[in-house]
Amino acid sequence: MATALDRNWGVMAARGVLAVLFGLYALVVPGLALGTLIMVFGIMVLVAGILAIVAGMRRQANQEPSVPIIIEGIICVAFGLLALLKPGATAVAWLYVISAFAVVSGLLHMAAGFSLRKQVPGEWVLIFDGALTAVLGILMILLPWAGLLALVWLVGAYSLFFGILLLVVAFRLRAFARTHPAPRPAR
């Protein structure tokens, strides 16, 4: 178990760094065109999805629960490709796409967090992160005309916070893996 955690903390940290960079970009340059934001979102989600699939496959290779992580990765790849292939869609349509992504991603993070709690007692950060993600998605669905600038700020702030929480989880996993080394194979 510790071997898989030791390897996967880096993937989670990379996802956290990507989310922080995307959040800072959206907050520092809020007036950018929606098409550019969608393209950046698409790239970020596509890479995050690939990293999630890699992490899920590593967990699966070690006979650890991996289904929520792999499903999230597939959904991220699909949303990322959609954003890259159809950036000219209307702003409201993209608002609903991003909202749906946030709700689904949040629910999957919560499922992964509950699964992780079985291995790392007291782990709550990923569950909290999933709940915040789902709430963000629901708020964006309920308030579609709040303005595109508000959407850019909201997505940027969320992405920054999400990335920081992923980094916290990653470093907690690394610390757990270091204090619980994998048993050496018998020769």
What's the pLDDT score for residue 126? 83
Instruction: Name 47's Cβ contacts closer than 8 Å, sequence gap at least 6.
Output: 18, 80
Write down the pLDDT at residue 77: 92
For the full predicted model, state whether its pTM sits above 0.75.
no
Task: Show the DSSP H helices in the chain as ranges.
Answer: 2-28, 34-61, 67-85, 91-117, 125-142, 148-179
CA distance linking residue 67 with residue 141, whole number of Å: 27
- What's the pLDDT band for 96 if we cut at 50, 70, 90? confident
For residue 84, CA distances in Å to 54, 58, 78, 79 come to 21, 27, 10, 9
Express each pLDDT in 17-37 by its tens digit: 988 998 888 888 876 656 677
Confidence of residue 182 (pLDDT cuts 50, 70, 90): low
> What is the largest distance, in Å, between two alpha-carbon atoms of the chain?
65
User: CA-to-CA distance for 53 and 187, rounded, in angstroms?
Assistant: 33
The pLDDT of residue 6 is above 90: no
Q: Can you give the residue ranges of every domain in the chain?
A: 2-179
pLDDT in tens, 125-141: 888 888 998 998 888 78
